Amino acid sequence: MQIHTTTKQIKKENKQILCKNCGIICNSRIVLDSHIESRNHRNRVTNKRQSPKCKLCEKTFDNHTTLGVHLKSRAHFKKLSKTQ
Ligand SMILES: [Zn+2]
Ligand SMILES: [Zn+2]
């Protein structure tokens, strides 16, 4: 009689997972999940997506200052006058 000895190596999931958006290292999936649900993470993600945009010209800007400059520019006014 042969005894099959399967030596299953129990893999400990000690993988540290990095949240690329926040640069935060989570020790487990559960920690990561709870982090993703957190306000800190959501704020970071939404802030990244919300780069100011001129919908009329379909141009995105690094910040609101450059957007403001664009909104006063001739190029923008030209577009504006054409649509109206
Ligand atoms: Zn995050
Ligand atoms: Zn514009």
Calculate how far, in angstroms, residue 48's C-alpha sits from the geometric centre of ligand 1: 12
Q: Six-digit token pair at 10?
A: 């129990």
* Residue 82: predicted pLDDT: 87
- Residue-wise burial string across 51-80, b where 16 or more C-beta atoms lie within 10 A, e elsewhere: ebebeeeeeebeeeeebeebbeeeebeebe
The whole-angstrom separation of Cα 84 and Cα 79 is 9
Domain ranges of the chain: 1-49, 51-84
pTM (predicted TM-score)? 0.43
Q: What is the largest CA-CA distance in the chain?
A: 91
pLDDT in tens, 8-55: 655 555 679 999 988 999 999 999 999 999 999 998 887 666 788 999
Q: Directed axis angle between helix 39-49 and helix 29-37, to 10°?
A: 60
Calculate how far, in angstroms, residue 14's C-alpha sits from the geometric centre of ligand 1: 19
Of residues 22 and 72, the one with the higher pLDDT is: 72
Residue matched to tokens 């993470």: 41
Q: Could you say which ligand is closest to the alpha carbon of residue 33?
A: 1
Calculate how far, in angstroms, residue 29's C-alpha sits from the geometric centre of ligand 1: 13
Calculate how far, in angstroms, residue 37's C-alpha sits from the geometric centre of ligand 1: 9
Residues with CB under 5 A from ligand 1 (ion): 19, 21-22, 41
pLDDT tier for residue 62 given thresholds of 50, 70 and 90: confident
